[in-house]
Amino acid sequence: MVGSVTLSRPINIVLLGPPGSGKSTVSEALAAHHNLVTIATGQRLRAEIAARSVLGRSISGYLDHGQLIPDSLMDRLLRTYLDSLDPERGFLLDGYPRTIAQATGLIGIMADYQHILDAVVALEVDDEEIVRRLSGRRICEGAGEQFPIHIDDLTSIIRCRERGGHPVQRDDDRPEVVRQRIAVYHDQTHPLLEFYEQQELLLRVNAVGSSAEVFRRIETALEERIATLG
């Protein structure tokens, strides 16, 4: 269900946006509101790296340098998710596809599983705002379970230190790597916007503002989109 508009089947969404555009926060809200299974490829890939699995060792170098993961590895990861997907629930793809080649491959993968892509939500944020968001991001380590903090948020920094922890910057959040990740997005992923716009699936959403404001903008765009599907 999207607002007062419903479909006779689960809705399937792709969520696009540069790093730091708030995809994780938005995907959680969308999944909860529409009972979707979130397929967050970035989180799964980092989990594989932390576990030092065969797949994790293969991909760690790519992420550390802000590069895209080879399509063959991403396709393998996606099919693993779809194999176990509840047919009564739709899904939200967060972090995939990122290239025209992956988008073309996704068409074939979805056809294999008899799924239909209903909308592509593209979050839009200025490059310099992305650098500010990500280069200031830290992980609080040494205080029990790790949790994210930001250098602009003094309260979170104090909470981390009071618990005996210390802020640690991820390698892929260093400013030079962030700028490389943005360049990769523009060079290889941005063309997806034109690809999906030609298919009349693209919904452009301003992602600057509070998470609640961004979510409301997405909901409005989705309701208009679903109304055209009947």
CA 193 vs CA 63, 141, 158, 203: distances in Å: 23, 37, 41, 9
Contact between 184 and 67 under an 8 Å Cβ cutoff? The reply is yes
The structure tokens listed for 70 are 């080879």
CA dihedral angle for residue 31, residue 50, residue 105, residue 30, rounded to 10 degrees = 10
Contact 149, 140 (CB under 8 A): yes
Is residue 27 packed enough to be buried (19+ CB in 10 Å), middle (13-18) or exposed (0-12)? buried
- H or E segment and range at residue 166: strand 166-168
Active-site residues, by number, are 23, 98, 137, 170, 181
